[in-house]
Every structure is written in structure tokens, then in C-alpha cells.
Amino acid sequence: MSTSLKARVRPDTAYFAMNPTRDPEDGMSPISRWIAKAYDYEDLSASVFSLHIPPGSRVLRVYHEVQVAFTGVTSMIVGDGDEDDGWIETANIDPSTVGDFVQDPDAEFSAVGKFYQDGDTIDVTQVGVASAGVGILWVEVISYAEAVEAEDL
């Protein structure tokens, strides 16, 4: 089963979370899914775009993709509330290159992922003032939270 919503600024891009179907009587088991959220330069309020991570989730991998080149942005990093570049460090994302799709294997959280007991956000932070650009944040999550609603993302 999959949940799908259309992006506010890019109606041709959908937010999604893939959820496997299983019998709840089998007990709790982790749900693995990819969460992808598209954003454009107007979504970078105060130079940051955030994707909500539900409580009790382990994020395994984070990727960033540039779909439309960001104008006026010199660099981007991806992190969370504890470490602003914990997922993708500076100089790994090229905001001016369409199709730039990166994960940072050397970033602090990349080796084993990170567990978010109380939830958090994965944050894209830019340097500069964007006047154009579209990106997608891709996050692989394992969670026991079975009732993740699309509006929680």
C-alpha cells in the first residue's frame, strides 16, 4: 500500500511513503519505507527546509536531489536538530547542477543511521538567497509507527 499526495508547488511531483501490508496479530515489526518530499526555493524559509521524522523512527539513509538548479545558492547541507550537517556535509551537494543526486558516506550519521526516539526533522540548509530551484529530499526510515499520516511528513 502506498500513500500519495501531490506537491503544493510542483503538482507533477508526489510526496510518498511506501507502507507494507501485514496482519497486526503477528505483533509489532518494523516498517521500512522511503519518504520523499519535493520542495522549491520558496519553501526554504529562513534558508531551511524541514521534513518531519515521526517519534520512534530510525533513519538509515538520506539523499538530496537537485531537479531544477538553485540560483543564488552557493552550498547546501543536510542535518537535523542536533547536527546541521549530520547527513550531508558541505561541498557534497552542487545546487547549480540539475540531476545532482547525493548521499554523503562520510557524514556523521551515515554509517549506522540515527534513532529519533522523540522525532525530529531532517533539514536542508542553504547558503545564499535562492531565486529559483527545486529539490527532493529522500529519506529511508525504519519505524514501529504504523499510523504515519501523509500530513505528518
16-20, 114-118, 145-149, range with the lowest pLDDT = 16-20
Better pLDDT: 141 or 13:
141
The bridge status of strand 48-53 relative to strand 57-79 is unpaired
Domain ranges of the chain: 2-152
Report in angstroms the alpha-carbon separations of 145 from 44, 109, 112: 28, 21, 20
Q: Give the chain's end-to-end CA distance (angstroms, integer).
A: 17
**25-47, pLDDT tens digit by residue?**
555 556 788 889 999 999 987 78
**65-85, pLDDT tens digit by residue?**
999 999 999 999 999 999 999
Write out the E strands in the chain: 2-6, 14-18, 31-40, 48-53, 57-79, 101-102, 114-116, 120-143
Mean pLDDT along residues 57-71: 96
Q: State residue 28's pLDDT score.
A: 56
**100-136, pLDDT tens digit by residue?**
999 999 999 988 899 999 999 999 999 999 999 999 9
Contact 122, 140 (CB under 8 A): no
Q: State residue 153's pLDDT score.
A: 46
**2-152: CATH architecture:** Sandwich (2.60)
Q: State residue 45's pLDDT score.
A: 73
84-93, 103-112, 142-151, range with the lowest pLDDT = 142-151
